[in-house]
Amino acid sequence: MTALTREHHHLHLGAGALASGKFERSRLLLVRRGYVWVTQEGRPEDFWLHAGDALIVQPGRTIVVEAVIASEIFMENRSKPGAGLWLKARCLMARSLWQRALARFPHTAVRQGGQ
């Protein structure tokens, strides 16, 4: 198991690998590649994040991250969890959901000339 510290900004986890720790400040956790499970002390829900998904990690609470498949995670420090951080996380999550939704539909040829 990898112990997360405040020096961690990039994290590479192999399939099945775990990382845990606490941060003094809020962080934006962004999955750049892979698929991970995240749980945090004091939060009733767990999170399953795909590449492109983001989560705001609350300070002072133990977090556990497990890679379902080989994954790369970026963790951005935040001194105050403000509206900008919230909006950034929501935009990244919406983009990821939109990309997954579009991937479910096969690409079709567009008719030309009204035929």
Domain coordinates in residue numbering, the chain:
2-103
Return the closest-CA partner of residue 32 out of 9, 7, 61: 9
Q: What is the pLDDT of residues 17-75, one digit of tens each?
A: 999 999 888 888 999 999 999 999 999 999 999 998 999 888 899 999 999 999 999 98
Q: Within 13 Å, how many C-alpha atoms sit on residue 114's CB side? A: 0
Tell me the CA end-to-end span of the chain in Å, nearest whole number: 60
Q: Which CATH superfamily does the domain covering 2-103 fall into? A: Jelly Rolls (2.60.120.10)
Q: Which tokens hold the place of 69?
A: 């498949």
With H, G, I as helix, E, B as strand and everything else as coil, classify residue 82.
coil
pLDDT over 60 (residue 110): no
Instruction: Record the pTM.
Output: 0.68
Neighbouring residues of 14: CB distance < 8 A, sequence distance ≥ 6: 67, 70
